Structure 1
Amino acid sequence: MTPSTNAYNSSCSVPSMVNPVRRAVRWLRGFVLHYLQHLLIFILASGPIPKHVAFVMDGNRRYARKRAMLPQQGHSHGYVAFRRNLEICFRLKVKCVSAYVFSIDNFKRSPEEVDALMTLAEQSFSELIQYGNILQQYGVRLNVVGKKEMLPENVLKAVRKAEDMTRHNNKAILNLCMPYTSRDEITTAVRDTVHDSLQADQPLEITEKDIDDHLMTTKGGSPPLDILIRTSGVKRLSDFLLWQCAEDTQIQIVDTYWPDFGLFDLLPIILDYQRKVWA
């Protein structure tokens, strides 16, 4: 065999050897990471766990711009992150998760982005209706919180089906806040309190407890809010759960964009909560 032939055969054999090795390394890395995540969740769950965690899922559009994507692609990546973090929370035995999905003010965005968000919402609810794996696996009841009458009819239909499908689940709660603002929730609670007082022909004396009892989250069975997490480093609440986080809630701001947020971002937040509880 000539030297040139040996060189040719040698160069051809390199890809055939490298590809299986790369696949094996990727598999091993994925296995180790998966095992590590299970171990971390098991360790965290042995300490005090917050009953109610809320997310302001911010940074989808900046994540997309950074990667030369369309805004709707950033929102799609955000949905994947939402499913990932939802499962982490329920594996930790968090009793209630609230997520700021769509603000009433988001209707002011470009028609293209609003349409893309509504399409993503309909697809997400349809997927939930068809499979429902996470919510059914962990016994989670779905509440869509907000002015649902503002949603397009096709989205509203999917919402109602998804809520009906999980109505009898009683191990945990998922609040999807859409279209939602806290000021609207508080205004609605005050109006409903006054209406109920007039219907019962009682003296009109509105207390904090009356308003709290009429909040959309309270009527859905949510416990008091323990932790509110906002991603992307922006330090504002953006009209989300203002009443609920007015007293004992720990507010955590992280720099990570929402599509990148995961267990290793949540880990120090839960540890900080546990440290404060133990203290």
Structure 2
Amino acid sequence: MSWIKEGELNLVERITSNILKAGPMPKHVAFIMDGNRRFAQKKNMERQEGHMQGFNKLAETLRWCKHLNIPEVTVYAFSIENFKRTKDEVDGLMELARQKFERLLDERENLEKHGVCIRVLGDLNMLPLDLQQRIAEAVVATRNHNKCFLNVCFAYTSRYEITNAVREMACGVEQGLIKASDVSEMLLDECLYSNNSPHPDLLIRTSGEVRLSDFLLWQTSHSCLVFQSVLWPEYSFWNLCEAIVQYQLNHMSIQKARDLHREHQALQQLEVDQACVAEILQHHGNGKPTDAQRRHEALQRYTACREERVRDFLDALKHKRDSYFSDLCSQSVTA
């Protein structure tokens, strides 16, 4: 089945969609697509068929999101913890991923028509090389599309992602690209796999489980969380509408929490910058007091230098990540 499922909503769905769009709409929705194995057991089918039905539901859900003007979707496709499953099931999931990314590459013209950008978040080094190459080709082929975005979390857990971000910052300090005082909550956010995306407005988990299972723990700290009992392959347009209504009912409190958090982050950064400037002035002034104008000018200079350091560091990090995908594509061509 295609990644991009064509087709219009029926009349009742269109009316409902228009009513929902009159209120605040999430711009980024994340899904924990849980319940494929239980669906297979319920229908007396092989687990692999359950996973296939789950992918088909993803394509259908992306169509609904498109009609609801939701430009970005993130899905939990394969957790690092899933490697602990039986070899047959893991091998089956890897083969399904190969098939679907090969199909995606066959649909390049359709993806370009819809402006779909595919991003894959996770440690791809854990995957078979041929699958890494297929994924890299899909990412590189669609990286300049900007109408809608699909983020596929594969070989991913949030704790691993955060640990990797801390490692990137430590490496930057060790290489002299940034200072230890530049390390902050905002910088860590920029070092996550998801740094190109706004944080999800709405996270949905199916199957009745009420935990996040190490998915986007950092990014969903101020998101609306909706847990639904339906198994993922049985997910419907109406289930999605129900989740959006939950988001709309809680939109104001969520937005207020986000605004307060941004203000707190900015204040924290200002306090750190002021402390660094005070230390510099004390060192260069031999402990003599400085007037407010001089402190203000020094703060402006320091802030500009810090921002430039951080910008250069993040540019280098982006180049490293982009090169990883480009190098995989080159290997695939020469293989």
Normalising to structure 2: TM-score of the pair?
A: 0.69
Looking at structure 1, the residues matched to 211 and 13 of structure 2 have their Cα atoms a distance apart, in angstroms, of: 30
Name the structure 1 match of 2:192. Answer: 215
Letter in 2 for 1:91: H
> How many residues align structurally?
246
Q: Is the aligned partner of 1:244 residue 2:219? A: yes
Change (3 A) 1:168 1:60: same
Change (3 A) 1:107 1:134: farther
State the shift of 1:116 in Å. 0.9
Q: CA deviation at 1:277?
A: 2.8
Match of 2:44 among 68, 77, 98: 68
CA distance in structure 2 between the partners assigned to 1:157 and 1:268 by the alignment = 38
**CA distance in 1 between partners of 2:56 and 2:18 (Å):** 23
Q: Counterpart in 2 of 1:165?
A: 141
Question: 1:96 aligned to 2:39?
Answer: no
Match of 2:208?
Answer: 233
**Secondary structure of the structure 2 residue equivalent to 1:233:** coil
Question: What displacement does 1:104 show?
Answer: 0.8
Match of 1:256 among 204, 221, 230: 230
1:211/1:108 CA distance change after superposition, 3 Å: same
Q: In the alignment, is residue 189 of structure 1 matched against residue 165 of structure 2?
A: yes
> Which stretch shifts more, 58-67 or 137-146?
137-146
The 1:201–1:78 alpha-carbon spacing in structure 2 relative to 1, beyond 3 Å, is: closer
CA contact (8 A) 1:189 1:215 kept: yes
Runs of 5+ in structure 1 lacking a partner? 1-30
- C-alpha distance in 2 between matches for 1:193 and 1:171: 31
Structure 1 stretch 42-51 or stretch 265-274: which is displaced more?
A: 42-51
After the TM superposition, which residues 15-94 of structure 1 pair with which residues of structure 2 at under 5 Å, given as runs?
Answer: 34-94=10-70
Residues 68-93 of structure 1, C-alpha deviation per residue, up to 9 Å, x if partnerless? 11111100100010001112112222
Structure 1 distance, partners of 2:193, 2:9, is: 39
Kept after mapping to 1: 8 A contact 2:226/2:246: no
CA separation in 2, counterparts of 1:147 and 1:32? 36
* Cα deviation 1:169-215 (Å, max 9, x = unaligned): 01222110001000110000001011122323543132111111101
Change (3 A) 1:135 1:252: farther
Matches within 5 A, 1:117-196: 117-132=93-108, 135-196=111-172
- 1:33 deviates by 7.3
Q: Distance in 2 between matches of 1:89 and 1:196?
A: 38
* 1:249/1:134 CA distance change after superposition, 3 Å: farther
Matching residue of 2:199: 224
1:214–1:32 distance in 2 versus 1, CA, 3 Å:
closer
- Residue 314 of structure 2 corresponds to none
Task: Indicate yes or no: 2:174 matched with 1:198.
Answer: yes
| Bigger RCO (CA 8 Å, 6+ sep) | 1
Indicate which of 95, 105, 110 corresponds to 2:86.
110
Runs of 4 or more above 6 Å deviation: none
Q: Secondary structure at the match of 1:217?
A: coil
Residue identity in the other structure for 1:232: S
Instruction: Tell me, in whole angstroms, the C-alpha distance in 2 between the residues paired with 1:202 and 1:129.
Output: 38
Indicate how the Cα distance of structure 1 residues 131 and 182 shifts in structure 2: closer, same or farther if over 3 A, else same.
same
Secondary structure of the 2:78 match is coil
Distance in 2, matches of 1:65 and 1:277, equals: 37
Identity, % of aligned positions: 41
Runs of at least 5 residues in structure 2 that lack an aligned partner in the other structure: 1-6, 254-335
Letter in 2 for 1:162: A
Return the letter of the residue paired with 2:116: V
Classify the secondary structure of the residue corresponding to 1:54.
strand
Residues 96 and 223, structure 1, Cα contact 8 Å, conserved in 2:
no
Match of 1:265 among 224, 231, 239: 239
Kindly indicate whether the alpha-carbon contact (under 8 Å) linking 1:48 and 1:274 is maintained by their aligned counterparts in 2: yes
Contact 1:231 1:253 (8 Å CA) reproduced: yes
Q: CA deviation at 1:103?
A: 0.5
CA separation in 1, counterparts of 2:109 and 2:10? 19
Aligned equivalents of 2:90, 2:58: Cα separation in 1 = 19
* 136 and 61 in structure 1: CA distance in 2 versus 1, 3 angstrom threshold: same
Q: CA RMSD in A?
A: 2.0
CA contact under 8 A between 1:71 and 1:113: conserved in structure 2?
Answer: yes
Q: 2-side partners of 1:145 and 1:116: how far apart?
A: 20
Deviation at 1:278, TM superposition (A): 5.9
